[in-house]
A and B are shown apart, each in its own frame.
Chain A
Amino acid sequence: MRFFALLKKELRECLPWMATAAAILLLFGSLKLIDSKQRQIGYQYRVFERYSEVGGYELLTRPISDFSIFVFMSAVGLGLALGVRQFWADDFMGTWGFSVHRSTHRTTILAAKICAGLISIVAIGLVWCYLFWRANSSGYFVFPLPERCFIGGWLICGMGLLFYLGATLVGLSKTRWYTTKLMGLGFALWMFITLTQQWTLWWGFGTLVIGTIVLLFLICEAFLNREF
């Protein structure tokens, strides 16, 4: 009951950002589909499929190079915006007192915030699912997009999660800008670079999971020990 009340509040606060990011992805993704249909470039993807040994950054991005920039911008942009909205806005507006003095554990308050952030990032993934489905079912491409392309899109959404958690950690940090305050975003950026260097999607997911766990651990530590 208490968790759901908190989650509802957090989701409502995330909603404008989530809707904006989803709308941007949907708009630019749809325009790209139309453009692809006109140019029939889907054929090229099939050619790339033959070179399955190709790895690293290209492996992740090339199959969905047409969409990746939009998925990336929406997911990472949303992640950063949510980190600011959820963890900095309370500082600016002085509402931490109201938010934290609740008859529930601090972990519940944090869990509700993180869950709302996660749901919002997943919403971007769902828009990606829709775009992928449309690309494969409406004859926009000569050949259907490979499965790897679909997973790659989700991996890019996962980068949004990394940046969300990074921004959250920055928001919770009370240190100075020129010391360790930016560590969260720095770590997210480092994980992002590491992720793009992986040779397979599974290694990519592994990196994402490790980065997420480390950031979540640091966030829990920072939130539970933070002064409000």
Chain B
Amino acid sequence: MTEFVLETQGLTKFYGDKLAVDHIDLKIPRGCICGFVGRNGSGKTTAIKLMLGFLKPTAGSSRLLGCDSQDLTPAIRQRIGYVAEGHRLIRWMTIAEIAKFQSAFFHEQPASTKQGEAGWDSNFFWDMIDYFGLSKKQKIKHLSNGQRAQVSLALTLAPNPELLIMDDPTLGLDAAIRRQFLEGIIELIMRQGRTILFSSHILGDIERVADKIVVIDKGVIRADCSLEQFRTAVKKVRFVFGQTSPETIDIEGLLGSRRSDKELEMILVGTADEKIAEWAKSSGAADYQTINMNLEDQFIEYTAPAGRNKPFTWEEK
């Protein structure tokens, strides 16, 4: 039987009368690396805060490591690593001070302890800090965004968390630091049974490490599948017509379309190749081709708001 380390049921949150998260049902099995993607203001941070018990849901519930998010015990919190958006750490502390502060909440992990067991691993922390080229005397307030992200990651990984939740951890980082950051995450992935949920705008990062993708849009889960499934399911197909393209499009899985004079571009989800060929034939298309898209393109097309497909035009008043 699959063990789910993170489960939500009908998780809903209203801010006043504004709906931020709408009936999220999510199940993340142990050992899964889940990319949580969505546009700005789509509800990612709210959903993560609900899962961690920082916010109270208007309706529904969520469970982390078998414990209700609203009643997470200290023992459960110890097993969950959390990297907050923007890597907000205590600014006046030095790296050594913040490490000491963080370590006070965990048992010191003896050198003999097997990898994979919980506890503050001081050696691991300082190895990571050395790897990132930081000094223990540096104050957090004097660190750049990227360096703060590195310290934040080291602080979160050193206790060897069973479940790691990261809210847009690579936001604002340059490519080199992002890569280092992802290597840190991969290091955790190498440890067996570790589960990661991370939100990001950078689809390349998701593609590199995730094996599951959850797409959230306007507070609603729009996709919850393996990355492979998502990559295969979302397609862009361009049809070329001898005459003008047909007015009505009747094809299964149509998400959106753009038309020019004799061309018609369709965004399709989960439409079989045979169905596409069949439609092309029935609509009198002279030719058609499936356009290769990377994950970012797929995501943009998949979450494009209605009406966005119209080209931008400047109207002089």
The verdict on A95 contacting B90 (CB below 8 Å), with A5-B101, A103-B105, A228-B49 known, is yes
Contacts of A100 in B (CB 8 A): 54
Per the 8 Å Cβ criterion, residues 170-210 of B in contact with A are none
Contact B84 A102 (CB under 8 A): no
The A-B contact count (CB < 8 A) is: 61
User: How far, in angstroms, from A1 to B107 measured CA to CA in the complex?
Assistant: 11
Scan A94-126; emit 1 where CB is below 8 A from any B CB, else 0. 111110111111000000000000000000000
Interface centre among A96, A105, A227, A228 (most CB of B within 10 A): A227
Contacts of B74 in A (CB 8 A): 102-105
User: How far, in angstroms, from A97 to B80 measured CA to CA in the complex?
Assistant: 13
Instruction: Name the interface size band of chain A.
Output: 20 to 34
- Quote the shortest CB–CB distance from A96 to chain B (angstroms): 7
- Quote the shortest CB–CB distance from B139 to chain A (angstroms): 13
Contacts of A94 in B (CB 8 A): 84-86, 88
User: How far, in angstroms, from A66 to B91 measured CA to CA in the complex?
Assistant: 40
Contact A97 B106 (CB under 8 A): no
- Quote the shortest CB–CB distance from A227 to chain B (angstroms): 5
Contacts of A102 in B (CB 8 A): 74, 77, 105
Contacting residue for B105 out of A2, A93, A97, A225, CB 8 A: A2
Instruction: Name the interface size band of chain B.
Output: 20 to 34
Report if A12 contacts B (CB, 8 A).
Answer: yes
Contact A97 B82 (CB under 8 A): yes
Contact A98 B105 (CB under 8 A): no
Contact A5 B104 (CB under 8 A): yes
Contacting residue for B77 out of A8, A93, A96, A103, CB 8 A: A103
Contacts of A104 in B (CB 8 A): 74, 77, 105
Report if A9 contacts B (CB, 8 A).
Answer: yes
- Quote the shortest CB–CB distance from A13 to chain B (angstroms): 7
Contacts of B75 in A (CB 8 A): 103
Contacts of A5 in B (CB 8 A): 100-101, 104-105
Report if B303 contacts A (CB, 8 A).
Answer: no
Interface centre among A13, A95, A103, A227 (most CB of B within 10 A): A103
- Quote the shortest CB–CB distance from B184 to chain A (angstroms): 18
The verdict on A12 contacting B92 (CB below 8 Å), with A98-B84, A227-B56 known, is yes
User: How far, in angstroms, from A227 to B52 measured CA to CA in the complex?
Assistant: 11
Contact B54 A227 (CB under 8 A): yes
Report if B89 contacts A (CB, 8 A).
Answer: yes
Contact A95 B92 (CB under 8 A): no
The verdict on A9 contacting B84 (CB below 8 Å), with A103-B106, A228-B54 known, is no
Contacts of B55 in A (CB 8 A): 227-228
Scan A1-32; emit 1 where CB is below 8 A from any B CB, else 0. 11011001100110000000000000000000
User: Using a CB–CB distance below 8 Å, which chain B residues touch chain A?
Assistant: 49, 52, 54-56, 74-75, 77-78, 80, 82, 84-86, 88-92, 100-101, 104-106
- Give 12 pairs: A residue, B residue, CB < 8 Å, sorted on A: A8-B101, A95-B89, A97-B49, A97-B54, A97-B88, A98-B84, A100-B54, A101-B84, A102-B77, A103-B78, A104-B77, A227-B56
